[in-house]
Structure 1
Amino acid sequence: MREVIGNSIACNHHKVGIVGLLVTLGIVFGDIGTSPLYVMKAILHTGETIDENTILGALSCIIWTLTLQTTIKYVCVALRADNKGEGGIFALYALLRRLKSKWIYILAIIGASTLLADGIITPAITVTTAVEGLESISPDLPVIPITLAIITIIFFVQRFGTESIGKSFGVFMLLWFLLLGVVGVFSITSYPLILKAVNPYYAVMLLVKSPQWFLILGAVFLCTTGAEALYSDLGHCGRKNIAVSWAFVKTMLILNYLGQGA
């Protein structure tokens, strides 16, 4: 009886609906949703000469990185590699164990290490960059103490469980993404030709001609920060909720990046 009830709850939780989508927005897309705060800034600090082709090329790299890596790699491929509905490095390891190879243990250790490293560095970058934005209002703002306070509060709040956090943050994330999209659209209207960045030709030309191509790629890669959450939080949200939410999130992110470019 307990198994039946448990499975029923899990199935209801994974159904596509307003609550499921809000929980998904609150849990999965926090990191990747704040990437517009620092990605373009990082690209502009690579030392590349800033002109129209550079901006178009950088935006094209961002758009196609989100498409190839996040959409195709994670949403279309990785989300299907679940272990009884669960995702993440250890779920993937459980699937690969069937190969009975000693190298699988090494891959699992490397995967867990990179996941831990990402979990350490991403909140620091995201929260610090967000707080730094307030320096335009108050230049003497104590950025580091405020950042430490926010991260500490979030750390202690996590004890209440992923679902409760997702429901609480989901509404705020929905408003945040809508804000990103609306601001992006208004900026795009000032220079509609920025839509040319959708053409991958500009990304290829930038990487072929730029001597700083490796640094640019490193900065562009920041636009997928937190994308691994799509797979690691598969068990909490379900594949359909993540896929539907990502279609909305990706649209808002691209609109905002194009707006920044404009």
Structure 2
Amino acid sequence: MRRDDRNGVALLVLDRPKSRNALSDAMLAALSEALAAIAQDRSVRAVVLAAEGPVFCAGHDLKEMTAHRADPDRGRAYFADLLGRCAGVMQAIVRLPQPVIAAVQGTATAAGCQLVASCDLAIAAADARFCTPGVSIGLFCSTPMVALSRAVASKHAMEMLLTGDLIGAEDALRFGLINRIVAPGAERDEALALAGRIADRSAVAIRFGKAAFYRQRELPLAEAYQYAAEVMTENMLSRDAEEGIGAFVEKRTPRWEDR
């Protein structure tokens, strides 16, 4: 995986196209390391996650997994550790202070679909396809289900999980898995442009908002409103909110201090 920063946007690129950008042990470690570094990097205001080659991400590296069936415990400890590490990466995306935008080409399958669902936003090429195909090989996509079921409506998620069928970009848009569709080859530029617009906003407001979005949706309605009011009060006391409201009243461009 490689990283390229430009104008406040970090571009992370999965670059193992010969292995269909599978989430191998090495790829998961690289993603985890990159996300941890970005979380501490205040110069990064948005992230784009892209991939090289005809496949965005084929999910876990099944050859790597199968090799551990020769372990004394038939791979139980390795499988549990692998799935825990993968879940850690997905949660790191959600917890990241900066928004993460997936730029999807080709196919995103199994944990690759999970990766897209875990991102805050997603731009897909018109010929992109998505699926959770585990049932076709006797392995229900239980961990991809966690992200998928939080990104799309229950019945759409269940249909994808129970059939393992590929869905096209139009259905992915209709289901709510992606935000928009662009011409093949334009997905990365579109994602970078969207990230650039986000990067122009107050980083402190974005940090408040992203964290609050994911926390409040897991709360009962009254608790969600109480929590959101507390967050908005703290946000209101930030320097950027003072500057932004002042700039609006004075009809000028705000000068963000990100505090």
Which structure ranks higher in relative contact order (CA pairs < 8 Å, sequence separation ≥ 6)? 1
What range is the shorter-chain TM-score in?
A: under 0.3
TM-score relative to the length of structure 1: 0.25
Structure with the higher helix share, 1 or 2: 1
Structure with the higher strand share, 1 or 2: 2
